[in-house]
Amino acid sequence: MTGPRLLRSGRSFLAAPGILLRPRSRSRPPARDGLLGNLEKRTAWDSFYLRSLAQPFKHFDWFLGYSSLHGILVELLQGVDRDGPRKLLDLGCGTSELGPRLYCECPFPLHVYCVDFSPVAVRLMQTHFSPLPPLGNPASELHFLQADATHLTDFQPGTFDLILDKGTMDAMLRADDGGVAVKQAVSESLRVMRAGGLMLQVSDEDPDVRILWLERVWKVNVTAFELEPDGRTSYFAYLIKPVK
């Protein structure tokens, strides 16, 4: 496996304005039928996760799982200048294995908060995650909460060192007025981010669109990395750092 490739850092990227979502080139497994046209709706996600109850629980990553991303996540968290445990928010976690495995395996103390607006996804994670003592560090913690990314009222300003959005805002953008909700969600993320913290978006949206939009709306600097392709789809990591 090759590591992430730096695409662009700084403010000079040329791009077309607006938010465009490229249609995905892969066909989806049948279980996603009924969801694809309703990716921004909580009820559609509830039904999606309810369908998985028919089978024994298995973590499900919409794309790129732990093996693809733990390296970059641990490196970013390690780089945080903090005395106590680092705090990670996985926004729209679904039933992804990223949060639980980071909790289990991270060598330094890490408090992981996995949130999703689907109560079904949160219940699945709470019920099926076996709360083994963390192997990586005994001071680590793992929490699952129901929360809407647009209203992170459960969290105080300046709480998190790293906020992860893997596919969540991509899903929200599918709504006709998705840009409004995503603006609110990014603003909420920046509110609950600690000074010196970072946000990492993992997305299939092209860098020329995503970077320009982020840097136009907020005072942030965005660095883009190309991640390994998942099937025929390219994925990108956007590292978002507020500018003082």
- Of residues 12 and 153, the one with the C-beta less far from ligand SAM: 153
- Token pair of 188, please? 């909420």
Determine which residue in the list 76, 100, 112, 116 makes contact with ligand SAM, applying CB under 6 A.
116
- Token pair of 2, please? 């090759």
Residue that is written with structure tokens 């079904």 in the block: 120
C-alpha 236/C-alpha 96 separation (Å) is 18
Residues between 90 and 109 that touch ligand SAM (CB under 6 A): 92-94, 96
Name the strands in the sheet holding 5-9, side by side, starting at the edge strand that comes first in the sequence: 5-9, 220-226, 236-242, 193-203, 160-166, 86-91, 110-116, 141-146
Q: Does 182 bind ligand SAM (CB under 6 A)?
A: no
Among 160, 171, 169, 175, CA closest to 213: 169
C-alpha 237/C-alpha 31 separation (Å) is 27
- Of residues 15 and 214, the one with the C-beta less far from ligand SAM: 214
**Residue count, binding to ligand SAM (CB under 6 A):** 19
Least distance in angstroms from the C-beta of 81 to ligand SAM:
27
- Of residues 32 and 241, the one with the C-beta less far from ligand SAM: 32
Residue pair 202/215 in contact (Cβ under 8 Å)? The answer is no
| Contact region with ligand SAM (CB under 6 A), list: 11-19, 73-81, 89-97, 128-136 | 89-97
| Contact region with ligand SAM (CB under 6 A), list: 70-78, 105-113, 146-154, 205-213 | 146-154
Binding mask 156-175 for ligand SAM (x = CB under 6 A): ----------xxx--xx---
Least distance in angstroms from the C-beta of 244 to ligand SAM:
28
- Of residues 7 and 35, the one with the C-beta less far from ligand SAM: 35
* Pairing, β 220-226 against β 110-116: unpaired
- Enumerate residues 6+ apart whose C-beta is below 8 A from 73: 88, 98, 102, 162, 164, 200
Residues between 22 and 81 that touch ligand SAM (CB under 6 A): 45, 61-62
Which residues of this protein are in contact with ligand SAM, per CB under 6 A? 45, 61-62, 92-94, 96, 116-118, 121, 148-150, 166-168, 171-172
